Structure 1
């Protein structure tokens, strides 16, 4: 296996963004495997889902959204704590920033290290990084469920915690009337998974079961195209589960046999690359994915904090 450039450090080409209207007042922005974002109109306000990596990047998304609505942002919902999802929050001027209670704790515990790590891994996403004013702190948190009344005849938006998965604080946003689900990084549609802060076995079983049980007609995952129709939604969920199951099987076999982390990485790469190897961020993610799963199988319950230094050490360890 030839040595690869670090993470996404050489992925510098701009991605084409596509704004889609999924239902009346329901929007998603996708960008060829870059992080997805969304927005939902209330009667006289907006709920935005995810914040991009920097205020400059967020402002570009908001400019596209303003072609459809000029309602003010009342709520900014963050699916989890990762820097490329949250550090653009100041651009929204939201009244309330909502996240799971575990996400707030994770920002306090490891937000600064994650900021440095993710901007080093994905420099293209960090547009004008010096405009980030600091860590993004949720102002409203919950443990299981939070409902936002959208007003008028627009129904409600239900925020739910489905269990540990991509992180220990991921939430989804569900529109029962429109049957649209914003799943964050708990589901990816034809994009590889990042699992460096994951709880693989929970995610692959009970957490994805709960996500699938919404029976959504449209699903916006963390990356990749919008999944439209029950068949496509279920396929995205099961593709995510398959990626996790293959990892658990292959890394688990090497771990049980007394092999090395590098053995596990090479075996897992061989098992996954035929199906997923050409999908966005596959090569970037897999070393960090395997490292976390190896730790999990070794009894490390909570993910070790990723720092810029640790990123490079793991990457170098797993390259030829």
Structure 2
């Protein structure tokens, strides 16, 4: 669903926001259009880009990927050939070596079919910050300063309109995922996001936020990350595996969130950082499937 949240600023919202169902968007002026993220599959990316063209009459001059994950990047190859894509430097490298675009493993059911997408990397990379000018409209692309959701996150901030596209630094009403970033970094990034004082937030997944809902959702993230940190510290002290530590957690207020099995992935990240080791991706997803009682559900 394409929503115009300010004049010339659109959000593409894909309910219910669970695995592989992301949000995207665009900022459009007479001087050009900047697309924020694409979608996981060719069908969904075309649907987004077709709706955007119908609404604005423009083709994207620029695009930015908020991070490397396929639900935000695999549709890059559906952008016009002349569109210049921007990404954080670590995000570009992550997408370059991503094996999942070549064939999704059976950790999900049904296994997503990406369609006729091809790996398309950013043309321009940024380390910390870059400002894009679309005529009089300013769009600031900012990195949180360290690993959070991933190591290469960017937000798109439109200061004059106080609209913030957060990528997956925010999951509104769904379980956050930080297994390719940092639990402590994601917690720190919540205060960093709040400091923008946005009036509208377009999260990476879930409904658009405004008013008091912004502070509410950011507070939920703080409490969830603290729960993960406590569960991880307790699990290590007791000699538990990440899976067993997760099984002992009372999700309480977060029990109704979709994709609860991400707790296992997040704990694998905590354990890896504590031990100073690389995260074992296959082991982490195998444990998540075990915790879930079967493959992780998708609706793509």
- Give the root-mean-square deviation of aligned CA atoms: 2.2
- Of the three residues 272, 284, 292, the one matched with 1:295 is 272
Q: Which moved more, 1:236-245 or 1:135-144?
A: 236-245
Task: Output aligned runs, 1:1-320, within 5 Å.
Answer: 18-30=1-13, 31-33=15-17, 34-93=21-80, 94-108=82-96, 110-112=97-99, 114-115=100-101, 120-122=106-108, 126-127=112-113, 129-133=114-118, 135-151=119-135, 153=136, 155-163=137-145, 164-205=147-188, 207-229=189-211, 231-268=212-249, 270=250, 272=251, 274-283=252-261, 285-300=262-277, 302-304=278-280, 306-307=281-282, 310=283, 313-315=286-288, 318=291
SS of the residue corresponding to residue 262 of structure 1 reads helix
Deviations 1:66-97 (A, max 9, x none): 23111121111101111121111111215211
Alpha-carbon distance in structure 1 between the residues aligned to 2:269 and 2:41: 27
Relative to structure 1, is the Cα distance of residues 81 and 247 closer, same or farther in structure 2, using a 3 angstrom cutoff?
A: same
Measured after TM superposition, the shift of residue 286 of structure 1 is 2.6
Relative to structure 1, is the Cα distance of residues 299 and 105 closer, same or farther in structure 2, using a 3 angstrom cutoff?
A: same
Measured after TM superposition, the shift of residue 296 of structure 1 is 1.9
Per the alignment, residue 14 of structure 1 pairs with none
Extract structure 1 runs of 4+ deviating beyond 6 A.
Answer: none
Measured after TM superposition, the shift of residue 311 of structure 1 is 5.6
Q: Size of the alignment, in residue pairs? A: 287
SS of the residue corresponding to residue 290 of structure 1 reads helix
Q: TM-score, normalised to structure 1's length?
A: 0.83
User: What are structure 2's unaligned runs of at least 5 residues?
Assistant: 294-300
Q: TM-score, normalised to structure 2's length?
A: 0.88
Deviations 1:23-57 (A, max 9, x none): 00101121222311111103232111111012221
Measured after TM superposition, the shift of residue 255 of structure 1 is 0.7
Deviations 1:113-133 (A, max 9, x none): x43675644566845x24112
8 Å contact from structure 2 (residues 183, 266) kept in 1: no
8 Å contact from structure 2 (residues 175, 257) kept in 1: yes
Alpha-carbon distance in structure 2 between the residues aligned to 1:215 and 1:278: 28
8 Å contact from structure 2 (residues 177, 266) kept in 1: yes
User: What are structure 1's unaligned runs of at least 5 residues?
Assistant: 1-17
8 Å contact from structure 1 (residues 147, 157) kept in 2: yes
Relative to structure 1, is the Cα distance of residues 32 and 318 closer, same or farther in structure 2, using a 3 angstrom cutoff?
A: closer
Alpha-carbon distance in structure 1 between the residues aligned to 2:149 and 2:285: 21
SS of the residue corresponding to residue 3 of structure 2 reads strand
